[in-house]
Structure formats: C-alpha cells, structure tokens
Amino acid sequence: MQWSEAKAIVTGGASGLGLAVVERIVAAGGGAAILDLQDAPGQAAAARLGATVAYVHCDVTNENEVKSAVTAALGQLGGLNLVVNCAGVIGAGRAVGREGPMPGELFVKTVHINLIGTFFVDKTAAALMQKNPPSADGERGLLIHTSSVAAFEGQIGQVAYSATKAGVMGMVLPLAREFAQFGIRVMAIAPGIFMTPMASAMKPDVQASLAAQVPFPSRFGKPEEYALLVQSIFENPMLNGETIRLDGAIRMQPK
C-alpha cells in the first residue's frame, strides 16, 4: 500500500504519538480521522491540518460509541485501510502500596481503555476493511497496536499498565492469523521512553535521568519517529503478526 493513499483512524490522535501519525499522513496527501475524548485539542488539530482530517469524539471503552465513530470516520474519509491504536492510560500504582491494596477500579479502568478499547476498534474496523478492493498482493488494510517496553520489562508500579501492553501484543498474532483471509495485517509497536505530553510535564532532572538510561540515542524518542515506523509498516506487506521494539536498546530496570 502507498502511504499517500492511507485512510486512517488514529485513536488518541489529538496529541502525542497519535497526532504525529496524523500529521505524517496528511503531509503525504492521505486522510485521517482522530478518535479521542479530548475535544478541544482534537478539533484544533483537525482545523489546523485541513480538510483531509476529521475529529470524531469517541470513548474506546464504549462498544456502541466505537461502532458509531468508526462508521462516521469511514464516511468522512471515503474509505479505511489503516488503524493506529494510540488511545491509552498509564494506570500507575503498586498492587500493595502505602495506603493498602490497589483499588480494583484502577486496574479495571486501565484494562478497559488500553486492552478492551483496542479490541473494540480492531474488530469494528476489520469488519469494514474486509470489503475493501484488494491490492495486487490481496491486501485490504492494516491494524497497528501500541504496546510498550513495559510489556517485556514491567517496572514496580506498572502492574496494570504492563498487563495491558502485554495483552495488546498478545492479540497481534491470533488476529493476524484470523484476518489473513481478508488480506488485513496486524502489527504492534512497543515504544520505549518517548516525549509525549505526559513526559514533557516531568521535571528536567527526571527527564535527564530517564534519557541517560537509553543506550543510543541517549534521549527521549520523538513522536515523529513512531510515525515513521507506522509508515514503514504500512508500506511493507511482509510485516505481519509481529511486535517491533522502538526503544534505543533500553531495557528497563525494576524501578
């Protein structure tokens, strides 16, 4: 598939990694729909990027809302051949902290947004993508999950987050095998430490400490580098059923 022909849904696309993907698609001449709960930033991004970008309010934990949003996005884009799942929360906290055990609601909320939300979007989009006319290779679309290095080396305090990021990675191969009959690929990207809105709010000394842990390049990843990998996956049809670490060779320590 050609990047200039991308017609994408990007969840969590109002900021951070998702917004960088939207910007890269638009720069190449493609179209994108931002699905997010951040109405003001999402609408502002759509207005700034032009007529090929739409903003659709969507809570990925609500199955009916996902169906409506994906259908609306398809209509506004005039097609759909890419989904990039960037919607997510950190859900930080120890299983047993100073104030006692973690509230079950925190763990459940993290699972609902990061894991179940990704599945809701995947299945809804795939049901529409399967109707696309195939490319020369028989390809009809691509689903990308955002995992994390925490799926491999979860730190203390990341039990909920790590579980969900391992979960979205674990869905990749079975979905890739199932959707092969439709010509729909499924991949995941596992970023390391990236300069997202959350990271930019950290104190400078904390940022410096984290950056020093990355072997090379010893800095935070840039959202544009995540978007570049999304493009590479989109353009290479042999990339399927796999998770790619994008982390500068970092291996996280226990804490």
Q: Is 161 a catalytic residue?
A: yes
CA distances (Å), 222 to each of 18, 19, 163, 164, in order?
A: 12, 12, 25, 23
Query: Are 118 and 35 a contacting pair, CB within 8 Å?
Result: no
- Helix (H) / strand (E) element for 7: namely strand 7-11
Find the helix packing angle between 172-179 and 159-170, rounded to 10°. Answer: 20
Catalytic position from the list 107, 119, 120, 161: 161
Query: Are 40 and 64 a contacting pair, CB within 8 Å?
Result: no
Show the DSSP H helices in the chain as ranges.
16-27, 39-49, 63-77, 104-110, 117-129, 159-170, 172-179, 197-200, 204-212, 223-235
Catalytic residues: 161
